[in-house]
Amino acid sequence: MEWTDMALTGLIWALEILAIAVPIALSVAYITYAERRVIGLMQVRKGCNRVGPLGLLQPLADGLKLFLKETIIPAKSNKILFVAAPVMALVPALVAFAVVPFGETTLFGLWDTAHVMAIAHLNVGILYILAISSLAIYGVLMAGWSSNSKYALIASVRATCQMISYEISMGFALVCVLMLAGSMDLSVIVNAQKGGFWHWYIIPLFPMFLVYFISGCAETNRTPFDLVEGEAELVAGHIVEYSGMWFATFSLAEYGAMILISLLTSILFMGGWDAPIPALDFIPGTVWLLMKTSFFIFVFIWFRATFPRFRYDQMMRLGWKVFLPWTLAWIAVLGLFTYAGELNSSLTILSDMIGYYQPWRS
Amino acid sequence: MFEAGFFYLFATMAVVGGMGVVLARHTMHSVMFLIFCFFNSAGLFFLLDAEFLGIILILIYVGAVMVLFMFVIMMLEVNQAKLREGFLQYLPMGGMIALILLIEFIGAASSGIFHTDAIAAVGHFGKDVNNTVEIGKILYTQYLLGFEIAAIILLVALVGAIVLTLRTRQDAKYQNISKQVNVRKEDRLRKVRM
């Protein structure tokens, strides 16, 4: 390979990464705005409406304020890990976006075949996202431990238990999707749901959809599972000692993870970039995907305005005693349905039913 | 050329991480070095086209096992000076193990079995060979028995660990949620004629 070619490839990669990272940072800023406005609306008050027209410049003002604030490092903290922790929280949240496909494009007819719009087109995409999002916990753990503060430590202990518990049911919900799509490639999963909303996996996997989304809520430490931050008992949990930009990095990571969960829910259960009815195909797929994602982000905010925080034992019970049996049972049910026809010819109707959603069988 | 370069990068970093685990003064730093080491080993798997194994290594070891390690270590106040007390006492034993391992490794490496010619797939497969599918096929056909036995051993270990540590404290007041949910109006409410 020539050096010029390599430089060009590097440049294209850098541009691709920027084309995803910059919109994420911007949308994080405006999700905080949307969150304040929507919750304001739900609680019959105005929300932020002073900075700029309709308060639209509020996120920029917030960012500037946080940027100008002093970063305080506690004297008795473990300084290296204290500084590294926000970065460790942010990196997995951003790196996971590398495999998320945002649509398929022929670049306005320039290419013959449709290419998947993702930085990296992995055939183990789902596993990659699971692996990367399981790393997000290190940021919280390190922040809590290195702060040398009891509130932060308790928060990180809680975070560990919570994220590990909900990761399991999340993984099993994904297994159900894999059993239908027959691939771990995210673009194959979307293409398996092509052709209108009756092909979407939300229909055969509705309980798994609920489990995945609620577990996603718990994974990102959003209300009603924000016991990690629980301001009533833990002040602000693992971020209690952080100030200025390092504090902002944590919220950047949290909202980034929220976008990721919303994107994945749309991709795995809501047909990704497919229109709900084929007649609406003239709207570009990416627009559909982003619309679905925005809807789920709205649901996250809606949750926050609606539900009170869970008690810790209630949350553990939900993860281990409700979600885990549900997901395991659903895997067994799907497996039985898939191969019921081979056991007994009178049960063929069951495997035909589930076979409608399984393109790999035909 | 690139491949060799990356191999040496990952291999060196994995060894550096391994050394760090042993040599770091702080237990927390040892854990971080171990995580670093796992990442580099995953990198080596990726170089071998074994993306499934690489990602599983990160998912299981870094994402779950090391988190629990860290969870435990976070709670401990490890006194390093005390740990180093018996260093000389254990040195002969440790040194002997190291020596035996070294001889074994040299013997294995020079035996010719682990030569690139003897290992079947030295080159890369095409893009159509899916590592995950191949592993799944072989695991559920040829090695099914071993796989099932491993699964049962894990299950037994799991149940055993729970049985060993589970205790119901009598002095603590627990709320039984399913009991609370199942409460009917008649259980709590009594109509009294005044």
Contacts of B70 in chain A (CB under 8 A): 138, 141, 145, 160
Peptide bond into A224 cis (omega under 30): yes
**ipTM value for the complex:** 0.78
Q: Which residue has the higher pLDDT, B123 or A64?
A: A64
Whether A122 sits inside 8 A of B132 (CB atoms) is no
Give the nearest partner residue to A134 out of B63, B174, B177, using CB atoms: B63
Question: How far is the C-alpha of B188 from the C-alpha of A280, rounded, in Å?
Answer: 55
pLDDT in tens, A340-351: 878 877 878 888
Whether A164 sits inside 8 A of B68 (CB atoms) is yes
Instruction: Return the structure tokens found at A356.
Output: 């409608």
Residue with tokens 């995953």: B42
Residue with tokens 């719009």: A117
Whether A135 sits inside 8 A of B62 (CB atoms) is yes
**HSE (side-chain half, CA atoms, 13 Å) at A5:** 2
Chain A closest CA to B131's CA: distance in Å?
9
Best interface-test mutation with B: which of A3, A79, A87, A135 has the largest number of B CBs within 10 A?
Answer: A135
Domain with B155 in it: 130-168
SS3 string, chain A, reads CCHHHHHHHHHHHHHHHHHHHHHHHHHHHHHHHHHHHHHHHHCCCCCCCCCCHHHCCHHHHHHHHHHHCCCCCCCCCCHHHHHHHHHHHHHHHHHHHHHCCCCEECCCCCCCCCEECCCCCCCCHHHHHHHHHCCHHHHHHHHHHHCCCHHHHHHHHHHHHHHHHHHHHHHHHHHHHHHHHCCCCHHHHHHHCCCCHHHCCCCCCHHHHHHHHHHHHHHCCCCCCHHHCCHHHHCCHHHCCCCHHHHHHHHHHHHHHHHHHHHHHHHHHCCCCCCCCHHHCCCCHHHHHHHHHHHHHHHHHHHHHHCCCCCHHHHHHHHHHHHHHHHHHHHHHHHHHHHHHHHCHHHHHHHHHHHCCCCCCC
pLDDT in tens, A207-265: 899 999 999 888 888 878 887 777 777 777 788 888 888 888 888 888 988 999 999 99
Chain A touched by B55 (CB under 8 Å): yes
Pair A47, A81: CB distance under 8 Å: no
pLDDT in tens, A99-142: 888 877 766 667 777 777 778 887 888 888 888 888 888 888 88
Q: Compute the average pLDDT of residues A267-292.
A: 83
Best interface-test mutation with A: which of B45, B69, B71, B175 has the largest number of A CBs within 10 A?
Answer: B71
Chain B touched by A131 (CB under 8 Å): yes
Pair A192, A362: CB distance under 8 Å: no
CB-based burial of residue B120 (10 Å sphere; 0-12 exposed, 13-18 middle, 19+ buried)? exposed
Give the nearest partner residue to B130 out of A123, A160, A313, using CB atoms: A123
The total number of structural domains that make up chain B: 1
pLDDT at B86: 72
Q: How far is CA A163 from CA A166, A230, A293, B148, in A?
A: 5, 15, 22, 28
Contacts of A128 in chain B (CB under 8 A): 55
pTM: 0.84
Pair A208, A34: CB distance under 8 Å: no
Question: Helix B2-23 and helix B27-47: axis angle, to 10°?
Answer: 160
- Range of lowest pLDDT (A10-19, A171-180, B24-33, B76-85): B76-85
Question: How far is the C-alpha of A6 from the C-alpha of B135, rounded, in Å?
Answer: 33
Contacts of B69 in chain A (CB under 8 A): none
- Per domain, the residue ranges of chain A are 1-68, 69-355
Chain B touched by A155 (CB under 8 Å): no
Q: CA angle at residue A331 from A104 to A167, to 5 degrees?
A: 70
**Residue partners of B112: CB distance under 8 A and separation at least 6:** B118
Chain B touched by A153 (CB under 8 Å): yes
**Does residue B59 lie within any of the structural domains?**
no
**Does residue B155 lie within any of the structural domains?**
yes
**Does residue B162 lie within any of the structural domains?**
yes
Instruction: Return the structure tokens found at A117.
Output: 């719009």
Chain B touched by A117 (CB under 8 Å): no
Chain B touched by A157 (CB under 8 Å): yes
pLDDT of A361 above 80: no
pLDDT in tens, B62-93: 888 888 888 788 777 666 666 667 777 888 89
Give the nearest partner residue to A128 out of B55, B70, B75, using CB atoms: B55
pLDDT at B100: 95
Question: How far is the C-alpha of B130 from the C-alpha of B136, rounded, in Å?
Answer: 10
Q: Compute the average pLDDT of residues A172-200.
A: 86
Chain B closest CA to A130's CA: distance in Å?
7
Contacts of B58 in chain A (CB under 8 A): 131-132, 135
pLDDT at B79: 61
Chain B touched by A136 (CB under 8 Å): no
Q: CA angle at residue A259 from A254 to A264, to 5 degrees?
A: 125
Stretches in chain B below the pLDDT threshold 70: 1, 77-84, 114-128
**Does residue B96 lie within any of the structural domains?**
no
The whole-angstrom distance between residue B46's C-alpha and the CA centroid of its chain comes to 18
Contacts of B49 in chain A (CB under 8 A): none
In what helix (H) or strand (E) does residue B173 lie, and over which residues does it extend?
Answer: none
